[in-house]
């Protein structure tokens, strides 16, 4: 099993706006910046297997995604 998954929090200031998993932290940060400008992606774990990353993700509170304009 490949250990190329990372768990992360996307923060704006000190507020976590989203928590998730990815294999490409740079791409994912840019995607989140479209919705939450001025934020930053903070890696909180990894590298790990996809299974381990998904188990971590299940423990996180789900983000209520704001409606796009």
Interval 29-69: pLDDT, tens: 999 999 999 999 999 988 999 999 999 999 987 665 555 55
Query: Does residue 8 contact residue 17 with C-beta atoms inside 8 Å?
Result: no
Residue 69 to residue 55: CA distance in whole angstroms = 32
Q: How confident is the model at residue 1 (pLDDT cuts 50, 70, 90)?
A: low
**pTM, to two decimals:** 0.83
Residue 48 to residue 6: CA distance in whole angstroms = 6
Q: Which two tokens stand for residue 19?
A: 């928590």
Closest CA to 5 of 59, 43, 42, 53: 53
In the three-class reduction of DSSP (H, G, I as helix; E, B as strand; rest coil), residue 23 is classed as: coil
């Amino acid at each position: 099993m490949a250990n190329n998954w990372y768990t992360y929090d996307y923060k704006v200031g000190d507020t976590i706006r989203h928590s998730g998993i990815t294999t490409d932290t740079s791409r994912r940060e840019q995607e989140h910046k479209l919705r939450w400008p001025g934020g930053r992606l903070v890696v909180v774990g990894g590298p790990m297997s996809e299974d381990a990353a998904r188990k971590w993700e299940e423990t996180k509170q789900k983000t209520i995604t704001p409606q796009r304009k």
